Amino acid sequence: MIILYIEERVIHLLEIINLSKAFKQNKVVNGINLHLEKGETVGLLGPNGAGKSTSISLISSLIQPDGGDVRLNNESIIKSPQNLRKILGVVPQEIALYMDLSARENLIFFGKMHKIPNSKLQTRVDEVLDIIGLTDRQKDLVKTFSGGMKRRLNIGVALLHEPEIIIMDEPTVGIDPQSRNYILETVKRLNKEQKMTVLYTSHYMEEVEFLCNRIYIMDHGEIIASGTKEEIKNILSAETAINIKVELVKNEFIEALKKESNVRHLSVHQSTISVIVPRQVNMLKDIFRHAESNGTTVLSVQIETPSLEDVFLHLTGRQLRD
Amino acid sequence: MYWQMLMKELLIIWRRPRELIVLLLMPFILITILGSALGAMNDGDIQIDAKLAVVVKDKEDTARQKVIEEVSNSNLDRQQREGIIATIQSIQPVDLFLNNVVKSPELQEILSVKVYTDDISEKEAEKYDGVLIIPNGFTEAFYRYLSDEKDSVPAWDLRTTDESSVNSSIIQDVISSYQKEWVYIKTAKDVDIDYSKLTTKSSMHVESITKKKEISAFSYYAVGMCVMFVFYVSTTVANFAFQQKEERIFERIILANVPSSLFFAGIFSATFLLSFIQLHILFGLTAVVYGVIFPSVSNYLVVTLFLNIMVAGFATFVSMLSFRTNSRNVESIFSSLIIPVLAFIGGSFFNLSSMGGVMEKLGEYSPGGAAVTAYLKIYQGYGITEIASQLQAISLFSLVLLIGSVLLMKKRGGVL
């Protein structure tokens, strides 16, 4: 754990302070604060358009912020990002690879860009190919790869120069479950075995729950909640989620539930209506009463402790994949 | 790292058969089609038809009689008098030019001459590639030069419409070569040699200068299409470059602490090398298949290198502009509009210099036109000095493109 104390101020491996960015009049990132400690995996959650990718570009020094600072071991990297870039690997959301080159040629090219000495490069490429499970396909052109294989190589390129910090921007978008699991396991292994610090953004709550120690939730360019998984879930600790599965969703039934003063939040997903209510309140009686008066057949009722998804919904009013 | 950047560009294009076909096969097919079709229309050759008006203000017969009379009445001894009179009677410089030199079969094919005895109007002069004025008193002065009474001969006044056009060059060559003949005549007289023995040699000299290699339809379109398609190398490479930005590959390179200038140096070098290879392949093919051979390899290489630098500058500029505007449209506009227009103006499709005026100037000094003109001239056998103005134009364009690229790069700090 690299946490140094100087004049009672905690020095983080990477610290983002009041970072802001606007494109024309549109404030995409609005004064976000977050930090990474060595060896931890941090999740950055947010729906589309929340400002996650812009934040990543700002943090990785690809765009200049309008305000705020990015500090590596308490040194600002805004004006001279070279030190950060040396220890940073970025996995972009896009497949940033040369499709007309083979997997090995891509790795060699980016290895040269990272100035890995020739004597070490071939060995390192072999190691990375092994990590991402593409040793057998190393000579094939990337354009012949499946989506999952491309994603794995996309990660492999970011690992070449053995970065201390890796930022992954939705690295599992659009791939099959098998490849997704492989990637998640790889990230977990890199974090555990190589003590790699990971900042992971995703649409998938379960990925963040699986990988991350701490989570930042972002919406409309702002961090609206942060903490460990438990801390985040505790936001809704005084509340209960009730999932009501009905035969047919009727507006009258929904309106009647919404009018109940104890219903803090209501959402509908296919034939399931989710309501969040105070834990001490027994709502079941009222739910069945409204169902009967509106001619709604209730198939099942499930009472749950709120999940991260529920917290997210509660905080943003939107599903993660909205 | 720079080498790796360059090799990557070359490897990518090598593995894209569609681009290779467009850059190599397409121009060769067009050379074949245009060369065959238009070659047949022109009976195999593109005709050079230089037009010269000669305004003769001189009275040759009167002058000759006057000088002979003066020599006859002079104090010179008889033998000297007879020698000078014989020389004068054998040489009539204006008549020799109008009835022998420009009426030689070789020159008649490419040069038509009309003789005027009075000044011609400006409107009339516009019909010609050149107007030659033989001043009054020329013949008399010429004979006095032969008889050592004068040190020099009054020069003929030649006005050409455009000094850099092929037609004007032919006229200038013919007249300057003929004027050099006067020195031979004087020398022959001084050393007492029969001028006719010298004329064979000297007239051959005139012939060798004026009889430049003819431009066949195949050779014209080989040059025209090669120059047009070499510009497509630049947009192809610029397209790859922008694709690297769109797919965030460029960002990956920047994150590896590689300066963006190195990325664009790779674009410049790759375009330079690819266009160099492309031109050699295309000109090599046209040489083997259609016999289009440049008489001087070194001159061909000079023009090619100048053109390659300009095309590389073009690719860098288009890439930089695409990056700045963050738009693929820039490359599309250049490849679908600007290059065809430049090719048209530059005479890749037909010889614009035949239209005269502004179009002729545009044709010869536009980026493509300067290259087409330079190639055609060296194909005809002209030297580097005769294409200096075209090389200057190409250098200027290259410089402007590179300065533009640097300014675009420095316009905003940070990553492009």
How does pLDDT run across A99-126, given as a tens digit for each residue?
A: 999 999 999 999 999 999 998 999 999 9
Question: For the segment B111-122, what is each residue's pLDDT rounded down to a tens digit?
Answer: 888 888 888 888
Q: How far is B326 from chain A (nearest CA, A)?
A: 14
Q: What is the pLDDT of residue B208?
A: 37
Q: What is the pLDDT of residue B42?
A: 53
Two tokens, residue B309: 């630098």
Question: For the segment B90-101, what is each residue's pLDDT rounded down to a tens digit?
Answer: 778 888 888 888
Question: For the whole model, what pTM was predicted?
Answer: 0.68
Q: Select the residue of A61, A96, A105 nearest B252 (Cβ to Cβ).
A: A96
Residues of B contacting chain A (CB within 8 angstroms): 1, 4, 8, 11-12, 15-16, 247-249, 251-258, 413-415
Q: What is the pLDDT of residue A130?
A: 92
CB A181 within 8 A of CB A68: no
Least confident span in A28-37, A182-191, B63-72, B352-361: B352-361
For A170: left if phi > 0, alpha if psi spans -120 to 50, otherwise beta; the answer is left
CA-closest candidate to residue B251, choices A118, A100, A155, A94: A94
Interchain CB contacts (distance < 8 Å): A and B:
66
Q: What is the pLDDT of residue B206?
A: 37
Mean pLDDT of A88-107: 93
Q: What is the average pLDDT value for chain A, to the nearest integer? A: 86
Instruction: Sort out which chain A residues have CB atoms less than 8 A from B255's CB and list them.
Output: 60-62, 85, 88, 90
Q: Select the residue of B8, B251, B257 nearest A86 (Cβ to Cβ).
A: B257
pLDDT band at B163 (very low <50, low <70, confident <90, very high): low
Q: How far is A75 from chain B (nearest CA, A)?
A: 18
Mean pLDDT of A286-303: 89
Q: What is the pLDDT of residue B204?
A: 36
pLDDT higher than 70, residue B169:
yes
Question: For the segment B134-162, what is each residue's pLDDT rounded down to a tens digit?
Answer: 888 888 888 888 777 777 777 788 888 77
Least confident span in A116-125, A291-300, B360-369: B360-369
Sketch out chain B's domains with CATH numbers.
2-44+214-415 (no CATH), 50-210 (3.40.1710)
Furthest CA-CA distance within chain B: 98
pLDDT band at B414 (very low <50, low <70, confident <90, very high): very low
Kindly report each contact of residues B321-324 with a partner whose C-beta sits within 8 Å and lies 24 or more positions away, as own/partner.
Answer: B321/B408, B322/B238, B322/B241, B322/B242, B322/B245, B323/B241, B323/B242, B323/B245, B323/B250, B323/B408, B323/B416, B324/B408, B324/B411, B324/B412, B324/B416
Contact B15 A100 (CB under 8 A): yes
pLDDT band at B34 (very low <50, low <70, confident <90, very high): confident
Q: Could you write out the three-class secondary structure of chain A? A: CCCEEECCEEECCEEEEEEEEEECCEEEEEEEEEEECCCCEEEEECCCCCCHHHHHHHHCCCCCCCEEEEEECCEECCCCCHHHHHHEEEECCCCCCCCCCEHHHHHHHHHHHCCCCHHHHHHHHHHHHHHCCCHHHCCCEHHHCCHHHHHHHHHHHHHCCCCCEEEEECCCCCCCHHHHHHHHHHHHHHHHHCCCEEEEEECCHHHHHHHCCEEEEEECCEEEEEEEHHHHHHCCCCEEEEEEEECCCCHHHHHHHHCCCCCCEEEEECCEEEEEEECCCCCHHHHHHHHHHCCCCEEEEEEECCCHHHHHHHHHCCCCCC
Question: For the segment B39-72, what is each residue's pLDDT rounded down to a tens digit?
Answer: 655 544 455 678 889 998 888 888 888 888 888 8
Cα–Cα distance measured from residue B97 to residue B93, given in angstroms and rounded to the nearest whole number = 6
Contact B247 A94 (CB under 8 A): yes
pLDDT higher than 60, residue A169:
yes
Cα–Cα distance measured from residue B65 to residue B73, given in angstroms and rounded to the nearest whole number = 12
B214 vs B220: which has the higher pLDDT: B220
**ipTM of the complex, rounded to two decimals:** 0.77
Q: What is the pLDDT of residue B353?
A: 63
Sign of CA dihedral B204, B206, B209, B213: negative
Cα–Cα distance measured from residue B300 to residue B292, given in angstroms and rounded to the nearest whole number = 12
pLDDT higher than 70, residue B416:
no
Two tokens, residue B2: 């720079």
Q: What is the pLDDT of residue B193?
A: 62
